[in-house]
Amino acid sequence: MRPKELTSRIFLDGGDPQETREIMDLLGFLDGQTTNPTLISKNPEARRRLERGERFSEDEILGFYRAVVEEISGMLPGGSISVEVYADPQTAAEQMLPQGKMMNGWIPNAHIKFPSSDQGFRAAEKAVKEGLRVNMTLCFRQEQAAAAYAATRGAKKGDVFVSPFVGRLDDWGENGMSLIENIIRMYREGDGHVEVLTASVRHLDHLLYAIKLGSDIITVPAGILREWGEKGLPMPGRDYTYNAGSLAPIPYRDPDLAKNWQDFDLSHELTTKGMEKFSADWKSLIR
């Protein structure tokens, strides 16, 4: 059962409905799910099909993604399911937006994931005006979170998520959790319409510290939710401290949330690399 003191919503980061069921049974609750092209490429049914040498056509893979998302949505009707558009570094906003609208039609509780890139923000700005809920993914710097805020001004709380990827920042030597601290602090100056979704969670301490910081949402792979569940859903106590070891802290910047999103420096190597990896994993499924 959900711990009484838990204020964050807990999502599963995965692409397999059976795992969703297992985690719901184990934890006794689940608030939503995030998916992405890499996670869909790891879906056991997709793997079996690929092992038989049967890659998908473009229509078939979209049909497969839709079926996965519909099944998960049926299990979590009151939650949110993030569905990600295909976007490589060359994909224009004009290509992302129609995909987003199509995916939004698959289920009633979708958040559409767009990359935290120039084209991704252009697509998201239009998407929210057309009534879509969005999740700005592959966020690696505070300015991208400021742009997520500025591009979606006017949207209501709950309709916009920003997903900072803490594990990937750790991987290249920066303390990803300090980006969560910084974004939460920055958003205190705002109107609260963007929710912070801590993503790329790699171990239990990422989860516990994100809870302690009050991250609105935390998306967690099944393995870590299993560990959390098996330990009895421990919560970070008053004296909990996060040990970032030798990871370099990311300094707080003071971006002006009143600016236009185009005025922020949005570039980050990990955003580009992330788009390359997601698109390559998606293409690996297609014949």
Residue with smaller CB distance to ligand G3P, 61 or 197: 197
Residue 257, classed as helix, strand or coil, is coil
Residue with tokens 């697509």: 123
The answer to whether residue 113 is catalytic is yes
Supply the minimum distance, in Å, between the C-beta of residue 198 and ligand G3P: 9
Number of residues this chain uses to bind ligand G3P (CB under 6 A): 9
C-alpha closest to that of 21 among 13, 11, 30, 8: 30
- 10 bridge partner residues: 218
Among the options 42, 101, 113, 231, which is catalytic?
113
> Using CB under 6 A, which of 95, 109, 167, 227 touches ligand G3P?
167
Part of the chain binding ligand G3P (CB under 6 A), chosen from 43-51, 52-60, 165-173, 250-258 = 165-173
Cβ(31)–Cβ(111) under 8 Å? no
Residue with smaller CB distance to ligand G3P, 133 or 168: 168
Residue with smaller CB distance to ligand G3P, 199 or 225: 199
Supply the minimum distance, in Å, between the C-beta of residue 80 and ligand G3P: 13
Checking 50-54 for CB contacts under 8 A at 24+ apart, the result is 50/285
Q: How many CB atoms lie within 10 A of CB 5?
A: 9
Supply the minimum distance, in Å, between the C-beta of residue 100 and ligand G3P: 17
> Using CB under 6 A, which of 8, 20, 33, 34 touches ligand G3P?
34
Residue 135, classed as helix, strand or coil, is strand
What's the CA gap between 185 and 252, in Å, rounded? 9
Residue with smaller CB distance to ligand G3P, 74 or 223: 223
Residue 57, classed as helix, strand or coil, is coil
For position 229 contacting ligand G3P by CB under 6 A, the verdict is: no
Q: Which distant-in-sequence residues (6+ apart) come within 8 Å of 122 by Cβ?
A: 93
> Using CB under 6 A, which of 41, 200, 215, 271 touches ligand G3P?
200
Q: Which two tokens stand for residue 197?
A: 């979704």
Supply the minimum distance, in Å, between the C-beta of residue 250 and ligand G3P: 17
For position 36 contacting ligand G3P by CB under 6 A, the verdict is: yes
What's the CA gap between 212 and 206, in Å, rounded? 10
For position 144 contacting ligand G3P by CB under 6 A, the verdict is: no
> Using CB under 6 A, which of 13, 19, 31, 170 touches ligand G3P?
13
C-alpha closest to that of 144 among 269, 11, 284, 15: 269
The phi, psi pair for 56, rounded to 5°, reads -90, 150
Residue with smaller CB distance to ligand G3P, 149 or 278: 278
Chain contacts with ligand G3P (rule: CB under 6 A): 13, 34, 36, 165, 167-168, 199-200, 219
| Residue positions annotated with a catalytic role | 113
